[in-house]
Structure 1
Amino acid sequence: MPPIERRALDALIGLSVGDAFGNRAFPAEWTVRSPAHPETWAWTDDTQMACSLLEVVTAHGRVDQDALARAFATRAETFRDYGMGALQFIDHVKHGGRWREITSRLFEGRGSWGNGGAMRVAPLGAHFHDDLERAAAEAAASAEVTHSHPEGVAGGVAIGVAAARAAAGRGRPLAGAELIETAVEHTPEGMVRDGLRRALDLLGRPAAEAAAALGNGSRISAPDTVPFALWTIATHLDDYETAVRTCVEAGGDMDTMAAIVGGVIAAHHGTDPIPPAWLAAREPLPDWLPGDTS
């Protein structure tokens, strides 16, 4: 397998540190802990699924949906705080079921509109940073494996495209609003896109006001997560620590918000802005990933 593309790896590292920081902010009885590394800041299903996604993209040069479904199922460590729908998906695929069957049956046949497609996609966007249309298409394909609801797919597209644009602008000044505008251009009409438009109107407002208007992920849905995540990225694109802390201070789905935000910011800046103490405290990434992931 070829090595992971550098910008994609940076996005994965930024995602995993944000995820681990957000995870440790939960009450002790809710916090994910790694049996292999109990002394570290453990990451959650956000990072585990992002690793599987990046492994498949690196190996195949695209999102092979069948391979991705198998990777999600076989790589899953269920103590990582997977949601109910994800656990059903994993069990079905592990026992030889087809991923399309279970994905379309979830939530009484409506499909999931959760934030899972968005939480894991920043490294994919960074990988396809030289082609925004391709990034949007591959992000949609990655989300469809677990999310058949259009809003669940739209959340993945919005973050995937934003990460691609952020990575493409590495080394150059980039206006945060441009990331939201780029996501709006590529995201299908619906609640996620409407939320992105509201996020643009709220730039410059206090974080608490933006979270109240856009959502903080407490409903675990793409419309309730993606707009505020991109508002936070646009507001603090040049300050990784403040951006991640903003996600935690907003409450809600803190690990997923911080994973999305950390992944996109690291896609743009690399890993240098990540506080060294946070990176050192974060649980190591899986040893099955190709190449040096330090």
Structure 2
Amino acid sequence: MKEMTIHPFERATASLHGLALGDAFGSQFFVPANGHALSGRLLPPDPWQWTDDTEMACSVYRVLADHGVVDQDALAAGFAARHDFDRGYGPATNRMLRLIREGGDWRALSSELFDGKGSWGNGAAMRVAPLGAWLAEDLAEVARQAALSARVTHTHPEAVAGAVAVAVAAATAVREPGLSPGRFLDRVGEHVPASMVREGIAEARGLLTVRDPVLAAQVLGNGRRVSAHDTVPFTLWVTARERHDFEAAMWTTAAAGGDVDTTCAIVGGIVAASGAAGRLPPEWMSRREPLPDWAGVPPYDP
């Protein structure tokens, strides 16, 4: 493991910038006219606007900056206060955040979703990479804090497992940038609770020799069903293979289609957490919409 000389705040800032860039880049491929860009790797026209993935990740970042760990009440309040309906939230989340603003108890609202089963969506995973970068010194603590962050909106065990996997992946990218793809996935899997997400990560390891992301996504999912287990294993397959090249990671992720803004956000947040290896391309950054002032995020500094 390399010695971590970069401050947790700086690591989380880099991860958040990468997450937001991935989100904004991926969101462009919901527009059918931009589909041709994938074959020729033509950058979509700017500006690239980010979605709910980034808005919620900024709230996670803000809570970490203010408290050092996950304060669930503060996180729920932040999600609700900064909720912008036009950023692409799902209907269940829109309703829950509105009710929290009106005085509802986030614990009850989150646990009551989907007939009391809780949401197993990918929303907890899409926003959590900066947390892994922040707490990278201790993988067990990363897993614990990621679970706390997830349960504010997603209480289903699969959603929690997805958040844990992404956070641990970001922390591992910081701690051990030289790991082989297989060992990278092994390290993540060691900290993910028994779940379909963990089974998917094991499947991803077996597919590392596959070069075509479309074929990998046929097995692992691409987020089209918006569930954690349909999203996270594929993003970790990409990250394991491409985490030293941000642009390659983004194009590989987008090529599989599906929930492209979310899959690119997850991959971007993990890759950027690794520091120099995950440097963000300046031309891409110039196209991305600025982050919100309330988040207090310093400008990206490669």
Normalising by structure 1, we get a TM-score of 0.92
Task: Supply the distance in 2 between the matched residues of 1:49 and 1:91 (Cα, whole angstroms).
Answer: 15
Matched with 2:178 is 173
List gaps (5 residues or longer) in structure 1: 31-37
Measure how far apart 1:61 and its partner are.
Answer: 1.1
Q: Identical aligned pairs, as a percentage?
A: 49
Q: Which runs of 5+ in 2 are unaligned?
A: 1-6, 35-44
Residue of 97, 105, 109 corresponding to 2:112: 105
Where in structure 2 are the equivalents of 1:1-20 lying within 5 Å?
A: 5-20=9-24
CA contact (8 A) 1:128 1:135 kept: yes
Q: Distance in 2 between matches of 1:44 and 1:54?
A: 16
Structure 1 residue 42 and structure 2 residue 49: aligned?
yes
Q: Equivalents in 2 of 1:154, 1:51: separation in Å?
A: 21
Per the alignment, residue 157 of structure 2 pairs with 150
Q: Within 5 Å, give how 1:229-268 maps onto structure 2.
A: 229-268=235-274
Shift of 1:245: 0.9
Name the aligned partner's letter for residue 140 of structure 1.
Answer: A
The 5 A counterparts of 1:19-98 are: 19-27=23-31, 40-98=47-105
Aligned residues of 1:240 and 1:265 also touching (Cα < 8 A): yes
Q: Structure 1, residues 6-42: CA drift from partner, whole Å, max 9, x if none?
A: 0100000000000000001112699xxxxxxx96210
Equivalent pairs counted in the alignment come to 283
1:235 Cα deviation after fit: 1.1
Q: Distance in 2 between matches of 1:197 and 1:57?
A: 31
> Which amino acid is the alignment partner of residue 84 of structure 1?
P
Matched, 1:201 2:206: yes
Instruction: Tell me which amino acid in the other structure corresponds to 1:164.
Output: A
C-alpha distance in 1 between matches for 2:238 and 2:32: 26
Gap change, CA 1:221 and 1:291, over 3 Å in 2: closer
**Cα separation, 1, equivalents of 2:65 and 2:172:** 19
Q: Work out whether residues 69 and 145 of structure 1, in 8 Å CA contact, stay in contact via their aligned partners in 2.
A: yes
Query: What letter matches 1:44 in structure 2?
Result: T
Q: TM-score, normalised by structure 2?
A: 0.90
SS at match of 1:129: coil
1:191-237 Cα offsets, whole Å, 9 max, x none, are: 00000000000001122221100001000000000000000001111
Please tell me whether the aligned partners of residues 132 and 170 of structure 2 are also in contact (alpha carbons under 8 angstroms): yes
2:154 and 2:55 mapped to 1: Cα distance? 17
C-alpha deviations, 1:45-102, integer Å up to 9, x for none? 0000000001001101110001100000001111100011211211110000000111
d(CA) in 1 for partners of 2:234, 2:32: 26
> Is the aligned partner of 1:163 residue 2:167?
no
**4+ residue stretches of structure 1 with deviation over 6 A?**
none
What's the RMSD between the two structures over aligned residues?
1.9
Letter in 1 for 2:183: E
CA contact (8 A) 2:271 2:278 kept: no
Q: Distance in 1 between matches of 2:258 and 2:110?
A: 25
Aligned mates of 2:277, 2:153 — CA distance in 1:
29
Greater mean deviation of Cα atoms: 262-271 or 128-137: 262-271
Aligned-partner residue type, residue 139 of structure 1: A
Q: Is the 1:179–1:234 contact (alpha carbons within 8 Å) kept by the matching residues of 2? A: yes
Cα distance per residue 1:248-278 (max 9 Å; x no partner): 1100000000000011000013486322111
Cα deviation, residue 177, structure 1 = 2.4
- State the shift of 1:180 in Å: 1.4
Shift of the alpha carbon at 1:182?
A: 1.6
Q: 3-state SS of the aligned residue for 2:274? A: helix
